[in-house]
Amino acid sequence: MPDLDLRDGRVEAVGFGVFAALHLPGLTVAALTHSVAAFLPVAVSILLWSTLAVSALRAARRGRRAPRLLVTAALTLDAGVLTLSGLTPPRPGNVTTASVGLLALCAAAALLTRVRHVPFVVLPAAVGQAVLLHAVDGDASTPRLVADVGTVVAAGVATTGVIAWLEHGRRRALREVAQAARTDALTGLLNRRGMQDACAVLDGRGLCAVIVDVDHFKGVNDRRGHDVGDAVLVVVADALRDGARPGDVLVRLGGEELAWIGRWSDARTAARDADLFRGRVAKASAEAGEPVTVSAGVAAAAPGPLDVPALLTRADAALYAAKAAGRDRVVVG
């Protein structure tokens, strides 16, 4: 069975609708046992999750998701409502209704992590509910029922919390692996794969590309060694980051060649920022003990759909023109 990907707001909305549907068995039990005291809280729970489903669907249409705090509050409120419904008054029908509802809620909470976690949450909860039902059949006192309910709910919350914590760690590790696959290990900039992913959501309006190359970089490696060459690349990457704005795409294309993709009013404005970057590199590299200069080529995206390879090709041609003109300069293509 596939895992739910709640990063998709539409899937989240469907999930909340399923949570509402999971209360229907409890509602049926309440109706069959003629327990109005149990029927009303379960009906409120169904209304709660149905409202969340509608809200999540509306948020998904705007590319958003339901706030995590709201979902957590809904889970907590639902657990409280269902628990109280089993205690007011503590009759077998009420507790049966609460048991079915809490089992559904445990399943819903498990679905927020991974589908395969559901048995590990539902089975302990089912045992706890059996204990509650036995206590009611044995005419246990209300304090005893309160203690039993508290124990079962605490155990369910603890189990779900541990699973959620483990799942959070697993997903964080996966994100780190995915990030490493998209990032250049030396400079921390995106690699070509990361650039493709970042540019996939962009359009060509006002987009420019700046391709930068460290002048005479082979000579730095030959004279001082690759460790110094790597240090120079880190200095250049840091200078590029210092001038970037939120949303800009910074890439190490390979070797000593970097790219800066972002939105400017025109190519000449991008060239002005590239020239400021050139000055930062000269200053920072001199302070680091290995002065270097950079050449840059700038190109603006053509109207229409964004063609990243074509944009980079034009910026690369401008870079070669800068090198042919004597290096340490910016040329607009």
Active site residues: 256
Residue 43 buriedness (CB in 10 A; 0-12 / 13-18 / 19+)? middle
Q: What type of residue is 278?
A: R
With a CB cutoff of 8 Å and minimum separation 6, the contacts of 167 are 113, 114, 117
CB 191 within 8 A of CB 183: yes
With a CB cutoff of 8 Å and minimum separation 6, the contacts of 308 are 195, 196, 199, 261
Our CA dihedral for 73, 75, 77, 80, rounded to 10 degrees, sits at: -140
In the chain, alpha helices (H): 9-21, 24-32, 36-61, 68-87, 92-111, 118-137, 142-182, 192-199, 217-224, 226-243, 267-287, 308-324
Q: How far is CA 28 from the centre of its chain?
A: 38
With a CB cutoff of 8 Å and minimum separation 6, the contacts of 324 are none
Spatial distance between the Cα atoms of 40 and 26, rounded to a whole number of angstroms: 11
Spatial distance between the Cα atoms of 106 and 162, rounded to a whole number of angstroms: 13
Copy the structure tokens of residue 239: 């200078």
Q: Specify the DSSP class assigned to residue 216.
A: T
Copy the structure tokens of residue 161: 């919390």
Spatial distance between the Cα atoms of 312 and 307, rounded to a whole number of angstroms: 9
Whether the link from the prior residue into 67 is cis, omega within 30° of 0, is no
Secondary structure element (H or E) that encloses residue 8, with its range: none
